[in-house]
Structures are given as C-alpha cells and as structure tokens.
Amino acid sequence: MKQFKPLSLVTVIGTALLLSCVAALAQNADVSNSEARKPNIIFLLADDLGWGDLSCYGHPELKTPNIDQLAAGGKLFTNFYAMSSVCSPSRAAFLTGQFPVRNRVYGHFSAPEENAERGMPNWLDPSAPSYARQLQKAGYATAHFGKWHLSLPSGVGAPAPTEYGFNLSKAYLASGPQLPVAREENPYFRAQSTEAIVDETIEFIRANQGRPFYVSAWTLTPHTVLNPTDEQMAPFIDEFAPDPEHISHVGAKVVYYATVNDLDIQVGRLVAALEDLGLEKDTLIVFSSDNGPETMWIGGASHSGIGSTGPFRGRKRSLYEGGIRMPFIVSWPGTIAPGQVDRESVLAAVDLMPTFCALAGVEVPSGPAAPDGENVLPALLSGPMERSTPLFWEFHYEVDFGHVIHKSPYTALRVGDWKFLSNPGGGRVELYDIPNDPTELNNLAAYERGVTKEMQQQLKHLRAEMPQVSIEAAAGTDHYPWPE
C-alpha cells in the first residue's frame, strides 16, 4: 500500500486556481476554431546529460547560451529526478507516469536472451499508460522524434511508437520510420542526429500549428559513442585540446563540449522557429535528461566520459544523486514568469503524465494504469510545492566499473527531505538529509533510527506492489579488490 501525506488544502485550492487561470488563458487565445486553445507542449530530453553540464547549472567551462536563455525566460528546478539511472526504464517512467518496475522495465532493452535473463519483456507493453495517448484524446497532434529505446535496439518485431499514442514518429532504436540521418558507414551519425531531430520537430510544428500539438524531441547525445565533426570541435581546440606536440588526440573536453554545444545550438534553432511562427506564448517547453553522465570506465566513453554531475556523488547506473537528479527547465512565455529558480520543489519524471493531463484538460488514467506521480502544475506556474507522494528506484544489477564512491545500494526511496538507500534483505543501509547533505556523505541511518525504520517499512510496502524478479547477487555492492 502506498504511504504518503494527503494534499494540503492550500495545495488543492492553489491547483484549482492555477488550472482556472490556464483555462482562461486558453479561452483568450487566438485560434481558428471555436474551441479553447490548449497549450502546445514540447518535451526536449537529452541522453546522458549530467545535472552540471549546463552553464545555468554551474558548469565552469561549458557555455550553453540557448538553454540558459530558456531557463532565464522561465523556471529552473534544482530537485528534479529521473526514475532510473539508465535509459529504457527512465524513458518508460516519463511516458507512463509509473515507476518503471511496475512495467517490468528494470534495465535497458537488449537482445531477447538478455531481456529474459533480467525478467524483462522485449519492449514496453503498448497497453501501458501513455501521456501521448491521453493527449490524443484531448485533440492533440502528437509526434515522437529521436531516441526511443522502449523496445529492442533493432526494433525488429516491436510495436512502433505510433502504437503508444503518437500520430507520427521518426525514431532511433524503434520500429517504424527511422530518423532521417544515414547510419550506414556514417561516422558522424550521432553528431548530426540532433539537427535532424530538430528539423523534423519544426516541420511537424509548421504542419500542425493550427491545433494543439505535443512533440517528444529526444536526442541521442551526449550518449556514447561521441564523434563530433571537425566543424563542431573547432571552437574548442585552442582552449581545451592537449598540447599537439605531445598528444595527437583532441582530448575528452573538446569531444564532450563540442557535443553539448551542438545540442545547445539546436535548442536555439527550435526556439527561434517557434518565435517565427508566433507560437512561443502558446507553447510549454520542457527540457531535461534521462539519467546521469557516462563514466570514462566504459570503453565507448574512454575518450569523452567527463559529463558533470555538479556537486553530486554518483553517475550513470548509480542511485546516488548524480545518477538520477537531472536538469529540469520549463518555459512558457507570458504564463511562467521569467528568471525563476525553484530550489524547494521535488519533482520527478512520473509527474509529467498527470501534469500534461491537467494542462490538456483530460482525465488521468485510473486503476492499474494510475500514475505514481502527481500533478505539479502549481510548481511550474507558481511557487514551490510540497511533494505528497514518495519516489522509488530500483536498479538491481552489479556495477563493476568506476569509482566505488559512486556504487550505490540497489534500492532508493525519497520522502520529504529524506532519502533512504538499502539492499533489502541485508547489507547496506543509508539515510541522507538531502537538502542539508546533497553530496550524500553523512549517513544518518544509525542516528535517525525512527526515520530509518519508517523508510524501511515504506520501501517494503512499495516493493511488495511491484512484479517480483530475481536480484543479481552482487547488486548494490561497493566492493573494492584490496591487495591480499
């Protein structure tokens, strides 16, 4: 049974007032039909971009002026969570509004034999809840461009994204029409993919500007393997490349910075296209990432894996903050006041389903399809809000690379200010006061015994709701091979 605090009367009243304001704005919009114009929604999702990889989140060297401007014109959140530290379960949580383990998505979709070993299907069940399907019911034109990875990497035999509520898709790691960038023998496929995704997004917007639309523009970068073009790297060579007299390679900074810089450029192109079409005040833009940055210990990232987690412990595949806390920026000129930074609200990927439904004026799925998140529209449109539902993570595979300080227990729970991590059934037990210890270095489990016991019980109840699957014996370990 889910345990959480009920919504306060202030939150309920505030939500009602905000929704009435959104309805009033829609009624005043200039539309070609008699129905009130619902807000357009664009969801930009980067791949393996760290919390600290943007200059607006404090990166000391990387400059991301277009994304920074998106934040300056809207609202930046510092406490937003993806629901996994790897891609497929993270994306499943965004789309369904449910913790990914509910749909048996524990790790990335792979070959059938590996999926079977993990107790996973070969793709997300197309009957699972989908905010795209809910938005279709509200009259939205819906599209998905870019990375999918909610099926086998080849996509062979899998349902296409259109079976999840998208009218149109051109995707990567999916069935159906593919992203229009040649992959065969093209070493710059990934480097050129973000431009192609934005091209498709702009074309779709132009074709559907007379009606409300939703677009997923999910990039392939900065996921490995990174190989930016010479033109993309040129602005960074002089300042960041190693001494060419001694080292021939351009270095990890040039490769990674050039990739993130191109992402920023393409975001700028998309925003400019919206402004040219006069749609900026009708459109909510959401920007985030699926999980923390890759580590240089992975072969494909040994030349580039320097993504920043900001001040946080953990990286990709870790349930410490650096693996799951993501940048989150929202922009809606004329509706969301500019220049805001929210350091208090705790938001998550599972909140997008109920929030998008609220914006579109459509019911949230109920019963087994009910989301694990909550409507966070008050936090987007107004001041900070207090979270009433818990957040739950499980990544039950051994992480046998990278520094041991990043190797977390395999389950985690966030309730209020507290974050609890453990290996249920024995092993590590960790409790952190996140606002006062965001780096997760001061384990309070032995000192806050009452909180620890309560969190253990909540975690036990939540896990009991989920499909049961075997856990790798080495999951959640932080072993180091000390000399004998």
In 157-310, the DSSP E strands lie at 168-172, 213-218, 283-289
* DSSP label of 132: H
What is the pLDDT, as a whole number, of residue 9?
A: 41
- What pTM was estimated for this model as a whole? 0.93
What is the pLDDT, as a whole number, of residue 5?
A: 43
Rounded distance between C-alpha atoms, residue 108 and residue 122, angstroms: 10
* DSSP label of 144: E
Q: Could you tell me where in the chain the CATH 3.30.1120.10 domains are found?
A: 390-484
Fold of 390-484: Arylsulfatase, C-terminal domain (3.30.1120)
Superfamily classification of domain 29-379? Alkaline Phosphatase, subunit A (3.40.720.10)
What is the pLDDT, as a whole number, of residue 18?
A: 52
Please tell me whether residue 394 adopts helix, strand or coil conformation: strand
Please tell me whether residue 168 adopts helix, strand or coil conformation: strand
Secondary structure element (H or E) that encloses residue 422, with its range: strand 418-422
Give the pairing type, strands 75-81 and 340-342: parallel
Question: Could you tell me which of 137, 398, 277 has the C-alpha nearest to residue 408?
Answer: 398
Rounded distance between C-alpha atoms, residue 260 and residue 64, angstroms: 8
Q: Residue 343, class by beta-carbon neighbours within 10 Å (0-12 exposed, 13-18 middle, 19+ buried)?
A: exposed
Q: pLDDT per residue over 452-475, tens digit each? A: 999 999 999 999 999 999 999 999
What is the pLDDT, as a whole number, of residue 37?
A: 83
Rounded distance between C-alpha atoms, residue 14 and residue 11, angstroms: 5
Q: Catalytic positions, please? A: 87, 149
Rounded distance between C-alpha atoms, residue 26 and residue 38, angstroms: 6
What is the pLDDT, as a whole number, of residue 13?
A: 42
Q: pLDDT per residue over 260-306, tens digit each? A: 999 999 999 999 999 999 999 999 999 999 999 999 999 999 999 99
Q: Could you tell me where in the chain the CATH 3.40.720.10 domains are found?
A: 29-379
CA angle 98, 100, 101 (to 5 degrees): 115
Q: pLDDT per residue over 303-316, tens digit each? A: 999 999 999 999 99
Q: pLDDT per residue over 4-61, tens digit each? A: 444 444 444 444 445 454 544 444 433 333 357 899 999 999 999 999 999 999 999 9
pLDDT under 70: residue ranges of the chain: 1-35
Q: Residue 91, Cα to own-chain centre: how many angstroms?
A: 7
In 336-381, the DSSP E strands lie at 340-342, 347-348
What is the pLDDT, as a whole number, of residue 363?
A: 96
